[in-house]
Amino acid sequence: MNVSMSLSLPHGNRRELPGDLAMWFFILAELLVFGIFFLAYAFARTRNVELFNASQLELDKLSGAINTVLLISSSYFVVRAVDKIRHGLARACAHWLLAAMALGGAFLVVKLVEFADKFEAGISLSTNTFFMFYLGLGFFHFMHVVLGMVILGAVALKAWKGGYSAADHVGVETGASYWHMVDLVWIVLFPLIYVLR
């Protein structure tokens, strides 16, 4: 029984965790950090509702919505990529992953334009508590999109070179799980900071 020795749980049947166990530890830690920050935002707001509501009006809700659409769609593309590799279609898998990365790149561009706009208006981390959270959380999530794209890129490259097969593609699932986490976090972040008041 070599299975119990290994930290990586191979996919095999549907009852196993998709991707590497080590990545799931990392994902849980990430969710914990974001969760704490979300709640910090929500409860810091209770002590300063007017300030938060007034500052929130200055946000560009549309670009937030566009970014939601971009991330959700890229997550969907990643699902398609995993589906392709399960059928042994390595090249098609790489194509879907590249498409997902392109949407991730578009997310970064939209976000940069949004931030540039705010910086031009003279807004910084020290403007007030609302903008501290908006810029801080936004930047922290931004870095996760960047890391996610690096991971997807590495997986796509290996897939293109034929490093995965229908039988062995834990790496694809590992990268996919991380990317879905980045998406999941944004799905909560968007309504919390842009919409709810």
Partner 1 sequence: MKYKSQAVAKPYFIAAIALFIGQISFGLIMGWQYVVGDFLFPAIPFNVARMVHTNLLIVWLLFGFMGAAYYLIPEESERELYSPKLALAMFWIFLAAGTATILGYLFVPYATLAEMTGNNLLATMGREFLEQPLPTKVGIVIVALAMLFNLSMTVLKGRKTTINLVMLLGLWGLAIFFLFSFYNPANIVKDKFYWWWVVHLWVEGVWELIMGAMLAFVLIKVTGVDREVIEKWLYVIIAMALITGLIGMGHHYYWIGTPEYWLWWGSVFSALEPIPFFMMTVFAFNMVNRRRREHPNKAAVLWALGTGVMAFLGAGVWGFLHTLAPVNFYTHGSQITAAHGHMAFYGAYVMVVLTMISYTMPIMRGREANSPLAQVVEMWSFWLMTISIVFITLFLTAAGILQIWLQRIAEEPMSFMATQDQVSLFYWMREFTGFIFLTGLLLYVASFFIKGKPATAK
Partner 2 sequence: MTRTATFQWLILMALTAAAVGLSRSGLSDSALLVPVLLMTLIKGRIVIDRFMALQGVAAPWRWIVLGWLLLVLSLIGYAFHMTQT
| Closest CB 60 distance from partner 2, rounded Å | 12
Binding mask 50-79 for partner 2 (x = CB under 8 A): -----------x---x--xx--xx-xx-xx
| Closest CB 76 distance from partner 1, rounded Å | 28
φ, ψ of residue 136 to 5 degrees: the values are -65, -50
Task: For residue 182, give both structure tokens.
Answer: 């980045």
For the beta carbon of residue 77, count every other beta carbon within 10 angstroms.
21
| Closest CB 2 distance from partner 2, rounded Å | 19
Site for partner 1 in 4-23 (CB under 8 A): 4-8, 20, 22
Q: Say whether residue 111 binds partner 2 (CB under 8 A).
A: no
**Long-range contacts of 103-108, Cβ-Cβ distance < 8 Å, separation of 24 or more:** 103/70, 103/71, 103/73, 103/74, 103/77, 104/70, 104/71, 104/74, 104/145, 104/148, 104/149, 104/152, 105/149, 106/70, 107/67, 107/70, 107/71, 107/74, 107/145, 108/142, 108/145, 108/146
CA pseudo-torsion sign 11, 86, 14, 184: positive
Instruction: Choose the one of partner 2, partner 1, none that binds residue 160, judging by a C-beta under 5 to 8 angstroms depending on kind.
Output: none
| Closest CB 93 distance from partner 2, rounded Å | 13
Instruction: Choose the one of partner 1, partner 2, none that binds residue 151, judging by a C-beta under 5 to 8 angstroms depending on kind.
Output: none
Helix (H), strand (E) at residue 115: helix 90-120
Instruction: Choose the one of partner 1, partner 2, none that binds residue 5, judging by a C-beta under 5 to 8 angstroms depending on kind.
Output: partner 1
Q: Say whether residue 187 binds partner 2 (CB under 8 A).
A: yes
Residues 67, 112 contacting (CB under 8 angstroms): no
Note the residues at the interface with partner 2 (CB under 8 A): 14-18, 24, 27-28, 31-32, 35, 38-39, 42-43, 45-46, 49, 61, 65, 68-69, 72-73, 75-76, 78-80, 83, 176-177, 180-181, 183-184, 187-188, 191-192, 195-197
For binding to partner 1 (CB under 8 A), which residues are involved?
A: 4-8, 20, 22, 25-26, 29, 32-33, 36-37, 40, 125-126, 132-133, 136
